[in-house]
Amino acid sequence: MSLTGKIFEPYKKVPGALKLDLCGMKNITKIQLGHNGPLVSKLGLGCMRMSSIWGGATPDETESIATIHKALDCGINLLNTGDFYGAGHNEMLIGKAIKGRRDDAFISVKFGAIFHNGQPLGMDLRPVAIKNFINYSLTRLGIETIDLYQPSRMDGSVPVEDIIGTVADLIKEGKVRYIGVSEITAEQLRKAHSIYPVSALEIGYSLADRQIETELLPAARQLGISVVAFANTAEGLLTGDMKAPITENDYRSHFSRFQGGNLTKNLIKVEVLKQIAREKGYSPTQIAIAWVKQQGDYIMPLVSMSRRSRLPENIEAMDIVFTAEEINTLNTTFAIGTILGSTYLER
């Protein structure tokens, strides 16, 4: 199942009509990453699904590269990757795609996670490891400087001062332009920002995962840190495609949100989202992305895609406007605590 959603006939504004290629019709809104940071597209392209992450098949490289090219043509310039995506495959893929187009792309790289045979082994955030990781990333990407470099998580194994301080040293060396952080607490964010200005916080955020609204989002807003929000469809829950039960070999079956009665009750909530989507003439996925977009000028939806066919609908989602009644319905239906069960996004 594609987590970027799929436009079915009930959600089309004109039954049977083809979706227009929006890329040539409008300019993508820009946002600034942090205080005095760079201007980047309000919609980011997550490249993770262009590689095999959990041991599955690798998507077609030609199509993946074409998707990156089309995104850049559309003005989507933030490309998000991790040095552990596909054991470096993702970075090499992006390197091929941006060859000759370096100035069109803003490259965001996460580091620190250790995988073997598609299985996570833990984190390595030691300064010596970070200095090693970046040289491999620069080589695979075929560039001299990474625009945004960020630990993929902070597990307490290495002091925040050592992690952020090492990346700050890489900035002085010209290997990094800006510092980002990912999947951390409000306390860690404040500490990191006190060591060196943090430009962006990458974190899971959706109608179904709003726990960051209590402490983390307010901290980012207060500090002037932009938010790169991934998992806008809550691992497929909000696409309108999911049905209960899901298969046992689905990775999501390990999380209680997608198990038994929890999933059944959660999908009842999703029916409200689907109804709003029908009434507005969009897909549930588009509504989910648009809701994230509307939570603040400093928030960027990061949408994973590996096919060009997904670009028009995701770009169109950025123009969706809600009425006060629609926002109230969504916020009430998906209030914090209303989605039952846990997921890897809840730490």
Q: pLDDT tens-digit profile of 98-152?
A: 999 999 999 999 999 998 877 788 999 999 999 999 999 999 999 999 999 999 9
Q: Which two tokens stand for residue 185?
A: 């607490």
Residues belonging to the active site: 85
Q: Is the pLDDT of residue 193 over 60?
A: yes
For 49-100, the DSSP string reads: GGS-SSS-PPPPHHHHHHHHHHHHHTT--EEEEETTGGGGHHHHHHHHHHTT
Would residue 52 count as lying in a domain? Answer: yes
Would residue 199 count as lying in a domain? Answer: yes
User: What gap in Å lies between CA 141 and CA 89, rounded to an integer?
Assistant: 10
Q: Is the pLDDT of residue 4 over 60?
A: no
| pLDDT tens per residue, range 12-64 | 443 333 344 556 445 789 999 998 789 999 999 999 999 987 667 888 999 99
Would residue 19 count as lying in a domain? Answer: no
Percent of the chain's residues with pLDDT above 90: 81
| pLDDT tens per residue, range 325-347 | 999 999 999 999 999 998 877 65
User: What gap in Å lies between CA 319 and CA 314, rounded to an integer?
Assistant: 10
Looking at residue 120, its pLDDT comes to 81
Would residue 343 count as lying in a domain? Answer: no
Residue 164, helix vs strand vs coil: helix
User: What gap in Å lies between CA 345 and CA 127, rounded to an integer?
Assistant: 26
Would residue 62 count as lying in a domain? Answer: yes
Looking at residue 23, its pLDDT comes to 65
Mean predicted lDDT score pLDDT of the chain: 90
Would residue 163 count as lying in a domain? Answer: yes
Our count of domains for the chain comes to 1
Would residue 54 count as lying in a domain? Answer: yes
Q: Would you say 294 and 42 are in contact if contact means Cβ atoms under 8 Å apart?
A: no
| pTM, full prediction | 0.90
Q: What is the CATH number of the domain that holds 65?
A: 3.20.20.100
Cβ density class 132-155: b for 16+ within 10 Å, e for less? ebbeebbebbebebbbbbbbbbbe
Beta bridge partners of 107: 79
Largest CA distance in the chain: 58
Would residue 271 count as lying in a domain? Answer: no
Structural domain harbouring 97: 28-235+292-320
- 3 state SS for 267-320: HHHHHHHHHHHHHHCCCHHHHHHHHHHCCCCCEEEEEECCCHHHHHHHHHHCCC
Percent of the chain's residues with pLDDT above 70: 91
Q: Which residues 6+ apart lie within 8 Å of 1 measured at CB?
A: 236, 239, 241, 242
Q: How does DSSP classify residue 228?
A: E
User: What gap in Å lies between CA 324 and CA 264, rounded to an integer?
Assistant: 28
Looking at residue 58, its pLDDT comes to 84
User: What gap in Å lies between CA 19 and CA 72, rounded to an integer?
Assistant: 20
Torsion of CA 161, 163, 164, 167, to 10 degrees: 140
Q: How does DSSP classify residue 308?
A: G
